[in-house]
């Protein structure tokens, strides 16, 4: 019994890291998943991961424990944020596409986040989630956070915090995912731009035509045709971005690994 009491502080730290990861990680952070299920899954994963943790000795409940708990929250949030960047890139691409299609005002409520989401962004968002589930990406996300216990011990502060390597890495990946979102939207946006130029030329050469009545249906039809053409390549790009997410999680774990 006394041994269980001595192990309880370390177990709570394991539980805190996994719970913080689920707060922002894709799929697990969905608002339509009851909080009780998230806490229960975090608890059972903590039981599984607890034998894998590294600690130099018995962890005591003292003032230093507060800093260790804060460190676990930061580690979980940072790893979950890296996974969230993939879906942010999809939302960015959807925003660009909606703006060019004239659907910027037609936002919908995202059931996973409870916030307004662009129409095409939400469509691609759901497709991306289904793709992640189909390739067992959620298993790899869990494996990523569980593997962090080997590199980041419970009783030591993470490295890379004071020299700015963590923030620099996150900014680099944020910029990469933002550019990826623009590239995902590039085929459709460029096609719609050419269509806008063509409609402008038609409006000048045939002033009797009501270009606003003709332009909107034409842009929607043309946009969806281009979307159908480039759709097969979409999942290939998402697969590559998913590989970047997992490799970025591994790199971040190495950066935060305590020395």
* Mean pLDDT, residues 241-248 taken together: 87
pLDDT tops 80 at residue 211 = no
The per-residue pLDDT for 23 is 87
pLDDT tops 50 at residue 102 = yes
pLDDT tops 60 at residue 87 = yes
pLDDT tops 60 at residue 82 = yes
Lowest mean per-residue pLDDT among 62-76, 100-114, 126-140, 227-241: 100-114
Q: How many other β-carbons are positioned within 10 Å of the β-carbon of residue 158? A: 22
Integer Cα distance of 133 and 85 in angstroms: 17
Which of 199, 191, 194 has its CA nearest to residue 216? Answer: 199
| Rounded to 5°, angle at Cα 253 from 239 and 5 | 120
**pLDDT tens digits, residue range 130-142?**
888 888 888 888 8
The per-residue pLDDT for 105 is 56
Q: What's the domain range around 250?
A: 2-256
Count of alpha carbons within 13 Å of 197, Cβ hemisphere only? 6
Integer Cα distance of 58 and 55 in angstroms: 7
Q: How many other β-carbons are positioned within 10 Å of the β-carbon of residue 97? A: 26
Q: Give the chain's mean pLDDT.
A: 79
* Mean pLDDT, residues 200-205 taken together: 80
Which of 87, 99, 96, 98 has its CA nearest to residue 125? Answer: 87
β-bridge mates for residue 116, sequence order: 109
The total of structural domains in the chain comes to 1
**pLDDT tens digits, residue range 170-196?**
888 888 888 888 888 888 888 888 887
β-bridge mates for residue 109, sequence order: 116
Token code pair at residue 130: 């289904």
**pLDDT tens digits, residue range 33-47?**
788 888 888 889 888
pLDDT tops 80 at residue 208 = no
The per-residue pLDDT for 259 is 47
């Amino acid at each position: 019994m006394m041994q269980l009491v001595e192990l309880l502080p370390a177990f709570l730290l394991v539980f805190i890291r996994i719970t913080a990861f689920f707060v922002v990680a894709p799929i697990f952070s969905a608002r339509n998943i009851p909080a009780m299920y998230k806490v229960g899954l975090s608890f059972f994963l903590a039981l599984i991961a607890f034998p894998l943790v590294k600690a130099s000795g018995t962890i005591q409940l003292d003032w230093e424990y507060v800093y260790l708990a804060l460190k676990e929250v930061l580690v979980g949030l940072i790893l979950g944020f890296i996974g969230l960047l993939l879906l942010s890139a999809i939302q960015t691409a959807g925003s660009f596409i909606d703006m060019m299609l004239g659907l910027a005002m037609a936002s919908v409520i995202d059931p996973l986040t409870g916030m307004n989401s662009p129409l095409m962004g939400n469509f691609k968002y759901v497709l991306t989630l289904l793709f992640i589930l189909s390739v067992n990406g959620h298993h790899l996300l869990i494996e990523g956070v569980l593997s962090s216990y080997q590199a980041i011990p419970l009783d030591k502060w993470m490295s890379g915090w004071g020299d700015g390597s963590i923030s620099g890495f996150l900014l680099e990946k944020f910029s990469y995912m933002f550019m990826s979102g623009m590239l995902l939207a590039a085929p459709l946006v460029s096609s719609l731009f050419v269509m806008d130029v063509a409609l402008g030329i038609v409006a000048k050469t045939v002033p009797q035509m009501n270009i606003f009545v003709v332009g909107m249906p034409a842009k929607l039809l043309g946009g969806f045709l281009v979307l159908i053409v480039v759709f097969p390549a979409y999942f290939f790009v998402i697969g590559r971005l998913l590989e970047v997410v997992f490799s970025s999680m591994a790199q971040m774990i190495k950066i935060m690994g305590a020395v």
